[in-house]
Amino acid sequence: MTGFRTASGPATRGIVAAGDGATAGAAAAVLDAGGNAFDAALAGLAVAFIAEPVLASLGGGGFLLAMANGRPACVYDFFAATPARPRPAADLDFRPILVDFGTATQEFHIGLGSIAVPGTVAGLFAVHADLGRMPLKDILAPAIALARDGTVLAPMQAAVMDAVAPILLATPEARAVFAAPDAQDRTLAGGQRLAWPALGDALAALAAEGPDLFYRGEMAAALVAACAAGGGQITAADLAAYRVERRPPLVWHHRGARLTTNPPPAAGGALIAHCLARLAEWDITHDGLHGAAHVAALVAGFAASEQVREALQAGEPPDWLRALDGLIPAARGTTQISVLDRDGQAASLTVSNGEGCGAVLPALGYMPNNMLGEQDLNPTGFQRWTGGRRLSSMMAPSVLDRTDGTRVVLGSGGSNRIRSALVQAVVNLVDFDLDAQAAVTAPRLHLEAGQLDVEPGIPDGAHDAARTAADRVVRWERTSFFFGGVHAVQRHPDGRLCGAGDPRRGGCVAGGVERDADR
């Protein structure tokens, strides 16, 4: 299993790109067993709970874009929601914590008071009920076994855990899961084993009893009791009221290609479309990939979408985005699973747990999100959110269809870098006619708050065209997970499949070709 893969032949089962080898492998195994793209995405999601524990959780939320044969395209919105009403600040378990990223220190807020109403479990069951082919117990079986037996942490996942160690080590219960066996003051290292039997038990119980266990049954009661006693804001009514929203996707055309992506109330898809609209005004290819014209157009597009993002955060969207009024983009700890099955069906799944609230509830077997402690969610101050509303997100699971029949399933983690990472991937695929691997690995840049961050490989001279939009230019010495993690799979017009797991985030690709006799 590698970060890049090509499979060919008429009997290709399908292909998966994801943020960890275990995640991609579990999804591919479901394809091998006869499951479809949606079964595979759900199997990968469940394994990500243990293999990518900072980025995916039963207590988080996300989106799945489904392109199923014979059905309209649909986005399953199971992102986190605000509780019905805030608890008095004096009663909250809500505290700041500093995380050192090496080049910068960032403040996050954690505690039971930072938990928003989780949607992942509802999303998992809704997608399976509508589109699943295999029994859910079979889809969840690999994750249950992995949680009980343990998984060897990949270096990238260990690095992510180390970055947010103050959160993962914030409570004794969290340390029992995430601390190194020989040192309670640091998280598990790459190559060490993470076992979480309680998570396996929770998944097994959900497979047997269904989502009511999480939203109305014993698991709901355990979360509500912990919040009531410990300073949280989730009530039984909040959990019982949660619903998955099925939305028609946002469709945007860029130079003849059709991009199907996440619609409002999520902000990411609309901001990507806005940026692509600006790029369409430029001739960006005449001096080549990352030539002056290309870079100048990207920066101009990013500057325009940055103004829109800032307006959204201030609650003052421009007229053309008036439908997005009140949105506040969120979600940093994010991962992506992209799947194409043998029938051409596509699943693009992006999920987040924020950074986690710092508490692992033994009776539940997971760490809930800290979405109410995200600065981006609260631009006017914490505890000022409107109750009972779906939070917005930069997440933008997408499918790109070209006129020649090429289909690419893609998405990214990376908070505010999601939009710039995906815009650059789309431009690389469409304007510069790159394949998935080249489109994903090409150097990136990102503009935010007047600073242009540039990966190595972009010529210095190309930066000059961007200086009018950027107050300062920061040239990175190496590629970094800062620039997002685009995991993509591609079907060529002749049926060949290829995939690219973004090396910036330890991405992996899995898939296989069956013999004709196996069909």
Active-site residue list: 334
User: Which segments of 219-376 are extended strands (E)?
Assistant: 245-247, 250-254, 257-261, 334-341, 346-352
- Residues 13 and 344: their CA atoms lie apart, in Å, by 10
CB 309, CB 271: distance < 8 Å: yes
CA-to-CA distance for 332 and 320, rounded, in angstroms? 26
Exposed e or buried b per residue across 300-315, where buried means at least 16 C-beta atoms within 10 angstroms of its C-beta: bbbbbbbebbeebbee
Strand residue runs (E) in 344-476: 346-352, 398-401, 407-413, 445-448, 451-454, 472-475
DSSP states of 26-83 as a string?
Answer: HHHHHHHTT--HHHHHHHHHHHHHHHSTTT--TT-EEEEEEE-TTS--EEEEE--B--
Pairing label, strands 95-100, 472-475? unpaired
Q: Which residue's structure tokens are 């998944």?
A: 203
- 265 upstream amide cis, omega within 30 of 0: yes
Pairing, β 183-187 against β 179-180 = antiparallel
On the 0-12 / 13-18 / 19+ scale of CB atoms within 10 A, 25 is: buried
CA 457 to chain centre: 26
Which residue type occupies 397?
Answer: P
